[in-house]
């Protein structure tokens, strides 16, 4: 099926996740951030991703309904008995 990642891509992603999780002590640039408790900054990115996801879903819903209406309209024109 086109568009799905192949096994090599999945393997590279898995290796990168393991590297980031385990090599933080040796390479400080990829270390996890220290836990400083819950604060406002910790909720900004998840909330932003939620809003973007909802906006995409709503935009696709409106776009799909418009395309469906156009397809029905076109079908009525083409199938009009002469």
Residue 73 lies in a domain: yes
The answer on pLDDT for 82 being more than 60 is no
pLDDT of residue 4: 57
Q: Considering the domain boundaries, does residue 2 fall inside one?
A: no
**More confident: 56 or 27:** 56
Angle value at C-alpha 59, between 54 and 60, nearest 5 degrees: 100
pLDDT band at 2; cut points 50, 70, 90: low
Share the mean pLDDT of the chain: 77
Give the count of domains, the chain: 1
Q: Which domain holds residue 61?
A: 7-31+41-78
36 within domain boundaries: no
DSSP string for residues in 49-67 = HHHHHHHHHHHHHHHHHHH
Highest mean pLDDT among 20-24, 31-35, 72-76: 72-76
- The radius of gyration computed from the CA coordinates of the chain, to the nearest angstrom, equals 24
Q: How far is CA 26 from CA 13, 17, 21, 36, in A?
A: 20, 15, 11, 22
């Amino acid at each position: 099926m086109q568009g799905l990642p192949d096994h090599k891509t999945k393997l590279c992603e898995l290796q990168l996740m393991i590297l980031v999780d385990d090599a933080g002590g040796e390479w400080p640039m990829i270390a996890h951030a220290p836990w400083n408790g819950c604060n406002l900054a910790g909720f900004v990115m998840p909330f932003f991703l939620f809003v973007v996801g909802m906006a995409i879903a709503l935009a696709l819903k409106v776009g799909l309904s418009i395309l469906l209406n156009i397809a029905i309209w076109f079908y009525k024109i083409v199938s009009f008995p002469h």
